Amino acid sequence: MSASDAKRAKHEIGETNAKGGGYFSARDHQGKLELDCDVVVVGSGASGAVVATELAESGWRVIVLEEGANVPSALHGQMRQSESLRHAWRDGAMVMTVPLGDSPAINVTMGKCVGGSSVLTGGVCFRIPGAVLKHWREELGLTRLTEREMEPFHQHVERAIHVEEVPAEMRSRGTNLFWEGATRIGLEMKPMRRNTKGCEGCGRCNFGCPHGAKMSVDLSYLPRAVEHGAQVWSHALIEKILVKNGRAVGVRGRALNREGGNPGDTIEVRAKRVVVAAGAWHTPVLLMDSGLGNPRMVGKKLTLHPAFRVIARFDEPVQGWKGALQSAYSDSLEHLGITYTGLHIPSGVLGATMPGVGVEHTNNAKHIDHLAMFGGLLHDEGGGEIHRVPRWLGGGREPIVTYRMSERDRAKIGINLRTMARAFFAVGAREVYLPVLGLRGVDADGLARVPLETLPARNFECASQHPLGSATMGSTEKRSVVDDEGRVWGVGGLHLADGSVVPTSLGVNPQLSIMTMATRMAWRMRERGVDA
């Protein structure tokens, strides 16, 4: 157990510290829950925790509301991976986009627990790329977002979450094989940076670090916020932002998972400032349900970094789960909009990718410990849109999300997959499993015969962990939802802080970028004062 986890463990749920801070579960509260504070933060993930902590440490009275459960770090090591899926992930990681045009159906995974998706990432940290900032300045008019402007925020977050390079000895054998093969075919491989301290390389970051070594915000930020008086409420679903005279004055929602299966009581939090950090999937839902934000832009321009994996079978054992889950990347094809990142997935999920049924399937699955894999994500142009289905039409609180992949992004899939496959064949892979539904393993000769460029995109398995930009930042009210400090145009006291404000896709894992932008937003709020 890490020091910060041990510190957090001292605060039992429901226990209040000397400054009034603590972790609470809304389902333990009987009757209507009414609270009052300076700033209420909806969402406890990478951005919400940052804003809450920065402001709590400045003396603001902060309340954080989280829809998911509070799953302490010590429990992650006790859960099977599927138990993590059912208790800490949104919808058991079975969220899919609806494909439009020639697009794949994309499986989008998100966290739903205190700490949000930061608990379930591989911990990969990239700064906002300079080329992306340049595009934002020159094409979108976000002239203040220079590398120099962002530098202190990047540094501040990197210190807080302990960003460090993954040492070579911690790379898994699967990653080393890809590294060697990629180098042979001319790609430059680089070590990744992650937010870890004392990582043992057990390869299960995506299911919550069992050793408290990944500095997710439930360990690195929220304990600091609580220490300074912030209250973190789990099982608190917020359904509406309250507005009075054009100014946000609080939020309303309800407690979830009440004992006996009964609907929970109402929660109402009054605040001088409302910060929405519910993620790019749900922040626009809250805005739509509250009738706030530019209706022509809310829910539009969603980008996903559609990602594809290639699995390779070797004659010798690989045991890809031994080592850091993600430890290397290549941006050699960034000019084409492709970034390669190392990864590994659990044996069960690997089993599902093994083609065939019965004897064929189980024989293929016997080679799971001989498999290596790598992923390639697309720096996509967008095409995602979040839709609200009215309750009278059977819509619940979850949105329908459509994704229309652009022709240029579709054209990248073939080169993306062929390059990864070539890298594996360069180091002796017997065969590769491409992410094409129903396709058997192919050898080097067979690869050339798979029509990746012309297959219907719906035949591809595709995943995303990076929903961004559904309530984007911009320089004018007409073309965006928030200004460059995250303030919602036309509504006083309402701020967005999460990935929804990121104006375009980044081409790299966004956790650090989101936290950096949230820090900048919190510092600007602090400078202006709580009553501004």
Among 1, 9, 98, 202, binds other proteins (CB under 8 A): 202
Site for other proteins in 303-332 (CB under 8 A): 317, 319, 321-322
Bridge partner residues of 275 (DSSP): 41, 495
Q: Which is nearer to other proteins, 123 or 346 (CB)?
A: 346
Among 38, 91, 180, 483, binds other proteins (CB under 8 A): 91
Site for other proteins in 16-55 (CB under 8 A): 25, 27-28
How far is residue 482 CA from its own chain's centroid?
20
Q: How far is the CB of 299 from other proteins (least distance, A)?
A: 18
239 lines the binding site for other proteins (CB under 8 A): no
83 lines the binding site for other proteins (CB under 8 A): yes
| Residue 336 neighbours by CB distance under 10 Å | 15
DSSP 323: S
Q: How far is the CB of 205 from other proteins (least distance, A)?
A: 9
396 lines the binding site for other proteins (CB under 8 A): yes
Decide if 215 contacts 515 (C-beta within 8 A): no
**Contact stretch for other proteins (CB under 8 A) within 3-11, 128-136, 282-290, 340-348:** 340-348
Token look-up 């993306």 returns: 416
Q: What is the Cα–Cα distance from 79 to 216, expressed in whole angstroms?
A: 18
Phi then psi dihedrals of residue 245, to 5 deg: 50, 45
Q: Which residues contact 516 (CB under 8 A, 6 or more apart)?
A: 127, 128, 150, 153, 154, 157
Token look-up 């909009």 returns: 337
Which entry of 211, 344, 367, 466 is annotated as an active-site residue? 466
Among 130, 246, 456, 490, binds other proteins (CB under 8 A): 456
**Contact stretch for other proteins (CB under 8 A) within 94-102, 122-130, 213-221, 518-526:** 94-102
Q: What is the Cα–Cα distance from 31 to 253, expressed in whole angstroms?
A: 13
Short-list 379, 382, 381, CA closest to 341: 379
Q: What is the CA radius of gyration of the chain?
A: 23
| Residue 332 neighbours by CB distance under 10 Å | 18
Decide if 117 contacts 110 (C-beta within 8 A): yes
Instruction: Tell me the one-letter amino acid at 62.
Output: V
Among 6, 19, 78, 152, binds other proteins (CB under 8 A): 78
15 lines the binding site for other proteins (CB under 8 A): no
Among 265, 268, 334, 369, binds other proteins (CB under 8 A): 369
100 lines the binding site for other proteins (CB under 8 A): no
Give the angle 229-234-235 at the CA atoms, nearest 5°.
Answer: 150
Q: How far is the CB of 320 from other proteins (least distance, A)?
A: 10
Among 6, 15, 36, 92, binds other proteins (CB under 8 A): 92
Decide if 89 contacts 81 (C-beta within 8 A): no
Q: What is the Cα–Cα distance from 427 to 421, expressed in whole angstroms?
A: 10
Q: Which three-class secondary structure state does DSSP give residue 262? A: coil
Q: Which is nearer to other proteins, 5 or 158 (CB)?
A: 5
**Contact stretch for other proteins (CB under 8 A) within 139-147, 200-208, 267-275, 488-496:** 200-208
466 belongs to the catalytic site: yes
User: What is the contact mask toward other proteins in residues 132 to 171, using x (rule: CB under 8 A)?
Assistant: ----------------------------------------
Reported as half-sphere exposure (CB side, CA atoms, 13 A), residue 394 has a value of: 1
Q: Which is nearer to other proteins, 108 or 518 (CB)?
A: 108
Q: What is the Cα–Cα distance from 139 to 480, expressed in whole angstroms?
A: 13
Among 7, 11, 58, 96, binds other proteins (CB under 8 A): 96
Site for other proteins in 103-122 (CB under 8 A): 105
- Calculated CA dihedral for residues 510, 512, 516, 519, nearest 10 degrees: 110
User: What is the contact mask toward other proteins in residues 247 to 286, using x (rule: CB under 8 A)?
Assistant: ----------x-xxxx------------------------
Count residues binding other proteins (CB under 8 A).
71
Decide if 496 contacts 283 (C-beta within 8 A): yes
Q: Which is nearer to other proteins, 83 or 147 (CB)?
A: 83
Among 10, 148, 335, 366, binds other proteins (CB under 8 A): 366
Q: Which is nearer to other proteins, 28 or 102 (CB)?
A: 28
**Contact stretch for other proteins (CB under 8 A) within 3-11, 197-205, 414-422, 502-510:** 197-205
Q: Which three-class secondary structure state does DSSP give residue 373? A: strand
Among 368, 405, 473, 481, binds other proteins (CB under 8 A): 368
Instruction: Tell me the one-letter amino acid at 417.
Output: L
Q: How far is the CB of 83 from other proteins (least distance, A)?
A: 7
Tokens of 322: 């031994």
Residues designated catalytic: 466
